[in-house]
Amino acid sequence: MTALKKLPIGIQTFEKIRADHAYLYVDKTALIHQLVTEGEYYFLARPRRFGKSLLVSTLQALFEGRKELFSGLAIEPAWDWNTRYPVIKISFGGVARDLLEMKSLVAAILRSNQQRLGIECHETPSGGVWLKELIEQTRQKYGQKVVILVDEYDKLIVDNLDQPDVASQGREVLRDLYSTIKDSDEHVKFAFLTGVSKFSKVSVFSGLNNLKDISLDPRYATLCGYTQHDLETTFAAHLQGADMAQVRQWYNGYNFLGERVYNPFDILLFCDSGQRFKNYWFATGTPTFLIKLIRQNNFYLPQLDRLEVSEGLIDSFDIDNLQLVPLLFQTGYLSIKSVQPSLRGGQLFRLGFPNREVLLSFTDVLIHFLTEHQSERIRFQEQLYALLQAGDMAQLRDCLKALFASIPYNNYVNNTISSYEGYYASVIYAYLASLGLDLTAEDVTSKGRIDLSIRLDTAIYLIEFKVDGGGKALEQIKQRNYQQKYQGQSKPIYLIGIDFDSAERNLTAFDWEQLG
């Protein structure tokens, strides 16, 4: 029996993975060959833990002519291994929380490149001036144009979004550095910058307007991430016996306008754990800053299930005007579910949670933010799921009343989101979404929009919310005949009207009617 190849968990260096062929490697070099032969300046944004650093390391080994590492890969017969290029690699792996630390980090990165390339430059306070001299001297020493690779290009900003003044200082440090690349065009063979977020070119790149953004280019949609084919071939032995439908439901779903992909970190940890379904990727970073933005904007959480945006809205943003939706998309908490033409021209993207892992994990975080529930959360989740399965409306009403009664008074005092009308619907949406049910917020019918519809194998639930509405929620459902959309499915339909009293901070009416 052939021994299983090792899983490259936490390994971001192409050389280490390929040196003795002991590790699994998903061959992306056909796409890489297309990339380097069709252009010179590129930008790619992908969520964390998506293989960006490995891609940068692969590009470095390729341009340095490390042919032995590419043995048997798609690019091996197509590349000119006789020509080698010097590589300047800028990787912001460290943490810098003030201007002095940022400048020190840039200086350390440039010194490291000098040492590796055998170059001596004048150390100046300006990273851009320093980098320009490094590029020119490297070109002169090696007699070849220089390759510039930047990993985590945005880290000085992203790490400091919680302190805007420092983030702005990071933007200026990076702008000074990156503007040099275009000024050095005559000395540059190839440049590739990658990170999590896409800030506007004016904001960070200044004059570097020749970057080709491939973040939503269908040709490179699978450049980072694993495809279904990758799982069925490269990972076949490690996934033997796995419920592949469940694997897809839990971890697939990231869409960059091409074939949907898996986050590599999830698949590697899933295989390593003995095929246990857990929130591997989500657990590596708590979306604290995003929750802060939700709080500041009093965001109506059911919107997460039905966001329709233009490409311009998710394309980029500036730190002076942080927007929640593009941040949620670029950090991987939302992904593209479908694309349709806009009546005004261009395209509209419908966004949603990419998969079950993100849905369950993110809504658990939202529940804590909305209610401060910790140990109570699991109890209420179990009860809600069981009661919906059983169709026990009286107990469901009592469960929801107990849920809202258990929210600490301090949560209402300290949390501005609780003061607006959508708070109560947001709490129920977060709880129901965290159950992994098939639900739709503001479900469109020919008669209007149902606040929330839930589709189970055993029943369909249509729910309407009112705040201080005098018990008229159920009446609205019946008047508008919302149930017509779901009739004829041979299962009971429950019409539920829920009224909240903002003074009592709880349900004042829970009326229902069963059809079928």
Among 399-408, 442-451, 484-493, the least confident range: 442-451
The CA–CA distances, whole Å, from 400 to 391, 410, 428, 464, 511 equal 14, 19, 8, 14, 13
pLDDT of 14: 98
Q: Each residue of 303-347: pLDDT tens digit? A: 887 788 988 778 777 788 888 999 999 999 999 999 998 887 788
Instruction: State the average pLDDT over residues 242-254.
Output: 98
Least confident range of 206-210, 266-270, 501-505: 206-210
Domain 14-220 fold is Rossmann fold (3.40.50)
Average pLDDT over residues 121-134: 95
Distances (CA, A) of 119 to 122, 123, 140: 10, 12, 10
pLDDT at position 224 is 98
Q: For 4-57, how does the pLDDT look when each residue is reduced to its tens digit (9 = 90+)?
A: 899 999 999 999 999 988 999 999 999 999 999 999 999 999 999 999 999 999
Dihedrals phi, psi of 500, to nearest 5 degrees: -115, 150
Q: How many CA atoms lie within 13 A of 111 on its CB side?
A: 8
CA atoms within 13 A on the CB side of 314: 28
Residue 484 has pLDDT above 80, yes or no: yes
Place of tokens 């129901």: 432
CA–CA dist 349, 116 (Å, integer): 45
Average of per-residue pLDDT across 400-406: 95
Strand partners, 499: 466, 509
pLDDT digits (tens, 9 = 90+) for 352-391: 999 999 999 999 999 998 899 988 999 999 999 999 999 9
Distances (CA, A) of 74 to 51, 137, 154, 512: 19, 34, 31, 62
Enumerate the domain spans of the chain: 14-220, 228-283, 373-515
What's this model's pTM, rounded to 2 decimal places? Answer: 0.93
User: Contact 389/457 with Cβ under 8 angstroms?
Assistant: no
**What angle do the packed helices 99-117 and 127-142 form, to 10 degrees?**
10
Residue 206 has pLDDT above 90, yes or no: no
Q: Name the percent of the chain lying above pLDDT 70.
A: 95
Scanning the structure block, which residue is given the tokens 């340095």? 64
What top-level class would CATH report for the domain 373-515? alpha beta
Percent of the chain with pLDDT over 90: 72
Tokens of 473: 């929620």
pLDDT band at 208 (very low <50, low <70, confident <90, very high): low
